Amino acid sequence: MANALGIKKWCDDNISPVAWQRVVMKNLDLFRTKGLGLADLETPVNTINLDGELIDAVKKTIQDLYKIELPVTTLV
């Protein structure tokens, strides 16, 4: 499990303020299957945790879009 807010903050600080939004949009269908909508993810609360499947999708999207690897420390 990883905290969505922590990943969003990392994206804001290390990529750009719109990076998280792009990642969410690329994976919105998967997020929705997990019960998370766009409104939940635009400004995620600290209690939203992502499971392994979502983490893998987010990591792949960041790698594909930005050629940057999401650090493991962000996922703790």
Half-sphere exposure of residue 53, counting CA atoms within 13 Å on the CB side? 8
Find the helix or strand (DSSP H, E) in which 2 lies. strand 2-3
Q: How far out from the chain centre does Cα 58 lie?
A: 5
10-residue averages of pLDDT along the chain (76 residues): 94 96 98 96 93 96 97 79
Residue 14, Cβ density class (10 Å: 0-12 exposed, 13-18 middle, ≥19 buried): middle
Q: Which two three-digit tokens encode residue 15?
A: 């990529």
Check residue 1 and give its pLDDT. 86
- Domain regions of the chain by residue span: 2-75
pTM of the model: 0.92
| Lookup: tokens for 64 | 């594909």
Q: Which two tokens stand for residue 72?
A: 């493991």
